[in-house]
Amino acid sequence: VQVDWSVGPDGRLVLRWTEASCPPIKPPTRRGFGMRVMESMIRGQLKGDIRFDWGAEGLACEIALSGVR
Per-residue pLDDT tens over the stretch 12-65: 999 999 998 888 888 889 989 999 999 999 999 899 999 999 888 889 999 999
Q: What is the pLDDT of residue 67?
A: 72
Q: Tell me the CA distances in angstroms from 41 to 36, 49, 63, one per residue in order.
A: 9, 10, 11
Which residues does residue 4 pair with via DSSP β-bridges, in sequence order?
16
pTM of the full predicted structure? 0.83
More confident residue, 3 or 20: 3
